[in-house]
Amino acid sequence: MSEHTAVHLRLAGVTRLQLAGRGPKTGFVFDPHRLALPCWALALEECGRAPALLVTFDRHFDLAVPTEPARVPDRREGALALDAHARLQLDVRNIDHIVAAMEAGLVGDVLAFARSSPEGALQAASYRDRRGGTHRIERAPSPEAWLDGGGRLPGGEAPVLLDLDLDCFTSQSDADPRAVIPWPQALVRDHLLPEGSAAFWEALLPRTVALTLAREPYHCGGLLSAGRLLEQVAPVLFGELLGADLA
């Protein structure tokens, strides 16, 4: 058993995927989005490169600053230290793991696709971490809107982390704000693969070292509803976008 495999097996509630397609070769699936933090750490340990460009799809901009950013472990302390911090110290609303990843030295710049901002989320175009490093933050409601606005994927050699929250593919009900409406597969496809996005994905996927997918069933209408939604999303995400067979 390799050292990294042994570490992964200690990440409770995290399922690891081996992907054979045109994108990342490894993926991590879990429920609370803050568990992306140790998964990003493990993926970057394995590839030996950090910090990464984070490209994240969500319903909410999870860009709140942790309560005590100076207490976020450095990435050199390892995935298990970051796993413990994510579970015990980060916000249970799952809104501060991205800035925590900046503080840990895991994430450099961020390209975030989402449609609403939780209370306390950063609104600035950059964030300065405790070491004095500056992280650029780009936001857009969708890849289509970002591309229409002239967005360009940052170049360079930085690895890419591709991150998705399943609730990205839901909308809040107008009739009942406590309820969510899952998107049909056609709308999922339009969001992830809009017309004109081929060049964006062709530039992004060869640099992508890992996929993280948060299921967050409590934001997707419940356990069964989240499962049905994942069945709609998976063929588009894994099949059409990544060219990977999960059968």
- Indicate the domain borders of the chain: 3-241
Q: What is the pLDDT of residue 5?
A: 66
User: What are the angstrom distances between the C-alpha of 217 and each of 20, 220, 222, 226?
Assistant: 27, 5, 5, 5
Q: What is the pLDDT of residue 245?
A: 77
pLDDT by residue (tens digit) across 47-82?
888 899 999 999 999 999 999 999 999 999 999 999
Question: Which stretches of 70-145 are assigned E, i.e. beta strand?
Answer: 107-113, 126-128, 134-140
Q: What's this model's pTM, rounded to 2 decimal places?
A: 0.94
Residues in the chain: 247
Instruction: State the Cα–Cα distance between residues 151 and 19, nearest whole angstrom.
Output: 28
Q: What is the pLDDT of residue 32?
A: 96
Instruction: State the Cα–Cα distance between residues 5 and 101, nearest whole angstrom.
Output: 21
The three-class DSSP label of residue 243 is coil
pLDDT by residue (tens digit) across 117-156?
988 899 999 999 999 999 999 999 999 999 999 988 876 7
H or E, element range at 213: strand 208-214
Cβ neighbourhood burial of 247 (10 Å; 0-12, 13-18, 19+): exposed
pLDDT by residue (tens digit) across 182-191?
999 999 999 9
* Residue entry with tokens 């493990």: 42
Residue 137 tokens, joined: 């933050």
Please compute the mean of the pLDDT values over residues 1-14 and round it to a whole number: 75
Please compute the mean of the pLDDT values over residues 179-183 and round it to a whole number: 89
Q: What is the mean pLDDT of the chain?
A: 92
Q: Say if residue 166's pLDDT is above 80.
A: yes
Pick the CATH number of 3-241 from 3.30.300, 1.10.1760, 3.40.800, 3.30.310: 3.40.800
